[in-house]
Amino acid sequence: MSLLAFFQWCEQSGIGAAIRRSSWLFPVIEAIHLLGLGMIGGAVLVVDMRLLGLGLRRQSLAQLARDAQRWLIGSLIVMIITGTLLFLSEAIKCYYHAAFWMKMASLFLAIVFTFTVQRKVTRAEEARMSPVWSKVVALVSVALWSGVGIGGRWIGFS
């Protein structure tokens, strides 16, 4: 099965068709997706701002990252579920849209980076971590997650 055939199958699925036929399903799913985006943005930014040395210094970086992680994972689950539903309703559009591929690449890289490199940095002893390395990790994280959001908005507005 080719990738295009898979995307066609997704769009022709009963779920995709139901979302397209409904006048309210797509906007409700998208609203939930955007709420998830806000939650994940907050969870990511609070850790990245701390890595940049901006705020929340009363709490250790490791504790802050642990506290933010449940919000990150919960909102990521919400976004993946709602994003899949949105995708099913317009899979062919996504197949031909560069923004979709940019968003998926950014999402993949952001998830891998967050749960490997950033996790290692946030769990390390702060005194042993180079401030420059912490800032680089934060900036890469912000760039990757921004790519996810920008790609999503680009899909929605074109």
Span 73-118, pLDDT tens digits: 999 999 999 999 999 999 999 999 999 999 999 999 999 999 999 9
> What H or E segment, with its residue span, contains residue 54?
none
Domain ranges of the chain: 3-156
Rounded to whole angstroms, how far apart are CA atoms 36 and 44? 12
Task: Tell me: pLDDT of 38 over 90.
Answer: yes
Closest among 17, 117, 125 to 61, alpha carbons compared: 125
Task: Tell me: pLDDT of 56 over 90.
Answer: no
Residue 129 is predicted with a pLDDT of 77
Residue 157 is predicted with a pLDDT of 77
- Amino acid of residue 120: K
Residue 80 is predicted with a pLDDT of 96
Span 113-142, pLDDT tens digits: 999 999 999 988 877 778 889 999 999 999
Closest among 75, 65, 74, 154 to 118, alpha carbons compared: 65
